[in-house]
Structure 1
C-alpha cells in the first residue's frame, strides 16, 4: 500500500497514459487515470467518476468483445504470476460512435507480494501501423503499377509488420482464403486467423526472418482452408525501411495436388517394392520347395532304379519279388507327386482324408521296402519292429505312408554312417478308439531344444549348426507331416538332444476293416470289348495290355476322328477317351457321339484332375473320370461299375 500511495501523485500528473486497478480478491476496480490518459480520451475531472462507473458496469461498450476475454485472461494470469509483466493487445473506443483503436497494454504490480494495485501503461499501436503502412507506400515509387501487378499475379502475396501482423495482401491471397476485404486480416497474426493446426513452425519461420534477416525459400507447410487441410510452399524475406527490419514480405503456392501425386507415386513405388520382394520371396520359396520335394522323390526312385538294374541283370526277368518292390516304390512316387502339388489344400482347409480298407502288414512292408535301401547305403542298423498279423485296417493309406516315410527318411539322413535306426509300433485302444503308436528313434545329430519348441514344424526351416551344415532339409517338411497328423486327429511329439539323437512318437487313430468279398459281386469281363482313344502309343498299349490280362478285347484309335469311325462301325461295351488328341479332341469327339445317339459309357482318360476339367467332361457327355497313369485295379473297378449300362 505504501508504494502506491507514494507514487499516486506522480501517476496522476504523468503525461503518460496510465491506469491503476485495484485487484483485491480478484475483483477489478479502477482507482485512477493519469493526466496523459485523461487528456488522450478528452475527459475532464468531473467526467471521470461517471466514466469509471459505466466502464465497470458495461466494459463491452468500450473494449471490443473478442478482446475483452483476452484482457480478462491477462489480468487473471498477472494476478497469479506477479513477478511477470502483462501484455495484452486490444481494441478500444470511448464512445460507441467512435472507431475502435488498437492499444497494447503493459501491466505490472507495484509490489509483487503485498500490493493489489496493478499499474497498466497503454500504447496506441494504431498510429504505429498507420505510420508503417504509410512508410511502405511512400517507399514504393510506382505504387499504381505495383498494385496492378499484385492484383493480377496468381501467386499469393502478403506483408507483415515486425510483430508478424498483416499489413496487406494481394487479391489472389484474399481469394484463396475466401476474404472479401483486407479488413478481415489487417492487424492479425496467423494464430489469430486459425489457419494452422500447428502454428509453431510458421511462427518460428517468420520470427527468424524478422529477427535475423534470413530469407526462406519454398518451405513446405500445411494450412486449413474452409475445413480442408492443404499443402503449401512459402517463401519469405525481411522488409527494410531506412536500413531497419520493419517486417516481412512473403508469398506461397498451393501444392496440394503435387504432394498428393507424390504420395500416390510413393505409395505405388512402395507397393511395387513390396510386390517385388514378395515375388522374390515366392521364387525363393518355390525354389526351396522344389529342392526339398526332390528329396522324397529320390527315395522311391532309388528303389525303382536299383531294383530295375538288378532285374535287367538277372536271368529271371519275371522275378516277382523284385518287381513287387518296384511297384511299391512307383506307386508311392505317384502318390507323393500328387500330394505335393496339392499341398496348398492344407492351408486352405480343403485337404481331406480318404479312408479305405487296407492290409496293415502290407502297408508297413511297403514303407520298409522304400526306406531300407537308403539305410543300407548308409550302413545303418535298421530295427524293424512293427506289429504282425494285424489284419485289415480302415485308414488313409497314402498319408499314413507319407508321414512315416518322411520321419524315417529324416532319421536315416541325419544319422552318421553306421548309426542305428529303430522303428517300433504299438497298437492299443484308448477311449474307445484304436491307436497305432509309432516310435522312430535314431542316434544322429539331434535338434536343439529351442528349435524343437519354436520352429520344428514351420515350413522351409532347418536348424543351422555344425552337425547339419552339410545336409539339406527334408522333402515335404515336418510342417506338412504335422498338418497331416492333425488331420488324422492324432499327435506328434519330438524328444531330441544335440549330438545324441532324436525320437519321434506318432499316435494315429484308425479303425478295423472287414474283409470284403467283392469277387461274389464281380461280373465276368471276358469277351467284353473296349475302344481306347489315345494318341500316345505307349500309353494306349499299356491300357490295352491291362484289359487283355482280364480277357477283354481292346481296339486303339489314335485320334478323335478315327475314334468316331470305329465307334460307329463296331459295337463296344465302353470307350476310354483321352482329353487331348490331334484333329479332334476328346470333348469334341464325345459331344459328336452323344449327338449321334451313342448310349454306351464313355470314360475320360486324363492326367489333369481339376474341378473345371471334370465339369467340362461331364457337360460333354462323359460318364466318369479315370486319372493317368492308369492302374489295373482302377481300370477293372471302372469296368465293373459301367459295363452293361447305357446312357441317354
Structure 2
C-alpha cells in the first residue's frame, strides 16, 4: 500500500514537473518573440532616425551652401557694379547646389533700355512661367519650379526661376532662402541705377557750372571791353583843350560810364555769387591806403552835394592786415555811396577802428533812415527801400546783398541800426589777421619811378576802339608801341623784332592770348607778358598766370594803371632777381 501510494505520488510529481517545463518553455518562447520584436522595433527606429538625421544634414548643408553664396555675392555686388558676367557667376554657383537642377534669370538689361536679358545655368529645363504672376513667389503645379519676382524702384525688373527636387516640407524655407537672392539682385540694380543717376546729375551740374562760368566770362568780356573804350576815351579827352559845354558833356559821359561800371560790377558779382564763383584774393595790405582812397572818392562827392564828410582813423589799427583790399573797398564804396545817396542834408561819418582783434567800419549818416519793417529784407537781392517807378534814387538793389555776401565770406558781421527820418548806421566787423612778413621795403622800392619812356612795347588787342585808346594812353606816358590784332600776328612779329614788354589781350579771334603766351614760353621767351583782361574771377586770373603771363591789368583800365604796371616791370627788367 505504501509502495503504490508512493508510485502515485511520484507520477503526480512527474506530471507537475512536465507541466512546469512546458509552461517554462512556452514562457521562454513568448519572451523570445517579444525580444525579437523589440529588437526589430529598435532597429527600425534607428534606421528612421538615421534617415531623418541624413535628411536634416542634407537640408542643413543645402541652407549653409546657399547662405555662403548669398554672403559672397552680396559683398561682390557692394564692391563691384552689377553686370551680366557677375549675374552669370551667381547663377552658376546656385546651379551647383545639390537638389537644384537649373536656374534662370530674366531681367531688364543693364546697358540697353527696354531689352530683357536672359541668363541660364544648369541643365536644360522647360520653364513653367506665368505672365500674369502677381505674388512675389509662385511654385509650379508639380512643385518642382519656384519663380520669384525681382522688384525695381517703380516696376518689376524681372523673374528669378529655380528648378529643384526637394521635399514638400522644405519648400517654405527654400522659398525664403531663394527670395533673399532676389532681394540682393534688386538692391544691386537699384544701387547701380542710383549711382548712374548721381554720376549723370554730377556731370550735368559740372557742365552747367562750366557753362555758367563761360557765360559769366563772356559777358564780363563783352561788357567791360566797350566800357574800357568809353572810359579810356573820356579820360584822354579830359586832357585836351575843350570848352565849358564840352567839359560838362565830358563829365556826364564820365559819370555815366562810372555808374555803368558799378552796375556791371554788381550784376557780374551777383552772377558769380549765384554760381559760387565769387572768390577772395587774400594778401597783405595797408588799411591807411584804403582809407585814403575812400577819402579821395567821397570827399568831393559829398562837397558837390553840400554835405559834410568826416573820416576818422584809429591809431590802434595795425600797419598791415591780411585780406582782400579790393573787396573791402567795394564794401565801403557801396555802404558810403548809399549813405550819401540817401542823405539830403547834414553829414556822413566814416570810422576806421580796431576792436577785439577785428577791423571795424562804422558808416553813420543823417539821412532819411529805414523803417523797421523794411530792414529785415533790405539785404535780399534786387530789394530797394523804394521800388516805385518815380523813386528818387536809381540802382539795381544788389549792392547791399553783395556786401553782406562778401562780409560773410570774410567770416565777418554786418549790423544795421536805423530810425526813420533820423539816419542810419552800418557797422562792419572783419576778423583780419596780421601778416608776419613786413612789406615796407618792397613798398619803398615801388615808390621809386622808372623811366618807362625808354621801354619798347608790343600791344596785342583785337578791338579797334581799345587799340586807339591804349595807344593814346601810352603816348601820354611818352611811349610808342606796335599793335597786333591777335596772337598769331604777334608771334610772327616777335620772330623779327625784340620788345621789352608785351601787353596781351586774352580773348581774341584766330589765336587768343593764352595760346600765344604758351607758345612763347615754350620757345624760351622770358620777357614780361602782361594780361589785358576783362576776366575778374580767380579762375580766369589763374588761367592767365598758368599759361605764363606775369601780371594782370583788368579792363576797364586807366592811365595810372598802365603807368603803375609798366613802372614795376621796367624796374624788374633793369634789376632782375
TM-score (norm 2): 0.49
Which has more strand, going by share of residues?
1
TM-score (norm 1): 0.45
Q: Kindly indicate whether structure 1 or structure 2 has the higher relative contact order, using CA contacts under 8 Å at least 6 residues apart.
A: 2
